[in-house]
Amino acid sequence: MKHELFPWLILFLPLLSVAVIALFTLHSKVLSSLISIGAVVTGFVLTCLFIAANGFHPEVTETSISWLSIGGLNVDFGLKLDLPRTRLSIDLVEQEIGDPGADPIRWDMDGAE
């Protein structure tokens, strides 16, 4: 399997699992939870494989596919791997977990007038 497909699979696996659960397994709690957890675990494994294959800073950070093409109208759908923003999000979550009562971003408004 091509590693270029991994970001797309990682993005759409949860959506696919929701569709399968909603359409086929809504009345079975055990099967629905297995499908949901399986999608999350598979996404994690694919993320690890993608990072192992391409490094933490992949060469190609943007990818797109043609979503709709009618005459002269072309609509593309794309992904952008934005690692600094992802790292900032992880830092904010880690800070919140470390001190649940703390504000992750402290705004010093006392001196501003």
Q: What is the pLDDT of residues 35-86, one digit of tens each?
A: 988 998 898 888 888 878 777 666 666 777 788 889 888 888 787 766 665 5
Clarify whether residues 46 and 6 are in a common domain.
yes
**27 or 94, greater pLDDT:** 27
Q: Are residues 70 and 40 in the same domain?
A: no
Q: What is the predicted pLDDT for the residue at 21?
A: 93
The structural domain count of the chain equals: 2
Q: Which pLDDT value is given to residue 50?
A: 80
- Checking phi first, is residue 55 left (phi over 0); if not, alpha (psi -120 to 50) or beta? left
Axis-axis angle for helices 29-54, 6-23 (nearest 10): 180
CA terminus-to-terminus distance, the chain: 58
Mean pLDDT (the chain, rounded): 76
> Between these two residues, 103 and 12, which has the higher pLDDT value?
12
CB-side exposure of 73: number of CA atoms within 13 Å? 4
Question: Does residue 6 sit within a domain?
Answer: yes
pLDDT at 113: 46
Looking up tokens 């900032």, which residue turns up? 88
Range of the domain at 76: 61-103
